[in-house]
Structure 1
């Protein structure tokens, strides 16, 4: 089981740990317009999915901006999602203020479907732990990073390299 801390305090992750080689679990989250988004909506693409505690924090903001810039040059065969429990309205407002349109910010606030399916739901504070998943065109998980401390950055280079490797297949 994955062990993570949030602000240096251990947290309980609810759900299933996802590992490289697993079939990517489906999920149901909300887009900024309140429509439902599932894994199938990006079928046939390489997916970079980053779960974050909240877009309104410095590390989450910086992470989403960095991945947005990195993914922008990789073409139409890549879909980038940032998942949090922020309300869809707040996510839409963040994207507008940040001038970002390449990322799909999606909300798991309704039923924590993503959080439980990917094992990132932090029970103690009803937020998602910081993690990064790369899923190939065949819905196989090719990269996983559960960031050990929720206020730390993920390994950007490793995640982007995993996306590039999945694109090359």
Structure 2
């Protein structure tokens, strides 16, 4: 499904922008929690060995918070994207938690055409994928 999120530089990013290379999308509730911190660090480590596969982390955090956290933690192999404005990614992928205005934890693998080829929904927010 299509979506629009924001990069750390406030540029709009859509599914169309992600197409062209295989992609892993790690979805987290908030970058400023222990489990989300650990998940993003792990995906950053794994991304270093994935060659042309692009790795993204999407949350409802503000782009400024994502950029600050990445800078402070040396995250260079994962691109963080913010769904805070419209929550269109959360809506499209069934991850929007309305009561909290956050996204549920999940992982998606997309092929080079943007087709979802693997999905993992994490049933408990405190668990890792």
Asked if Structure 1 and Structure 2 have the same fold, meaning a TM-score greater than 0.5 normalized by the shorter chain, the answer is yes
Q: What residue in structure 1 maps to residue 8 of structure 2?
A: 32
Q: Distance in 2 between matches of 1:139 and 1:34?
A: 22
3-state SS in 1 of match to 2:58: strand
Asked whether 1:106 is paired with 2:98, we answer no
Deviation of the 1:138 alpha carbon:
2.2
Deviation of the 1:26 alpha carbon:
1.4
Deviation of the 1:42 alpha carbon:
2.2
TM normalised by structure 2 equals 0.97
Q: What residue in structure 1 maps to residue 27 of structure 2?
A: 51
3-state SS in 2 of match to 1:142: strand
3-state SS in 2 of match to 1:81: strand
Deviation of the 1:89 alpha carbon:
0.4
Asked whether 1:85 is paired with 2:85, we answer no
Deviation of the 1:102 alpha carbon:
1.2
Q: What residue in structure 2 maps to residue 118 of structure 1?
A: 93
Asked whether 1:144 is paired with 2:119, we answer yes
**Aligned residue pairs, count:** 129
Deviation of the 1:50 alpha carbon:
1.0
Unaligned stretches of 5+ residues in structure 2? none
Comparing 40-49 with 144-153, greater Cα deviation is found at: 40-49
TM normalised by structure 1 equals 0.74
Deviation of the 1:134 alpha carbon:
0.3
Please tell me the root mean square deviation across aligned C-alpha atoms, in Å: 0.8
Deviation of the 1:137 alpha carbon:
1.1
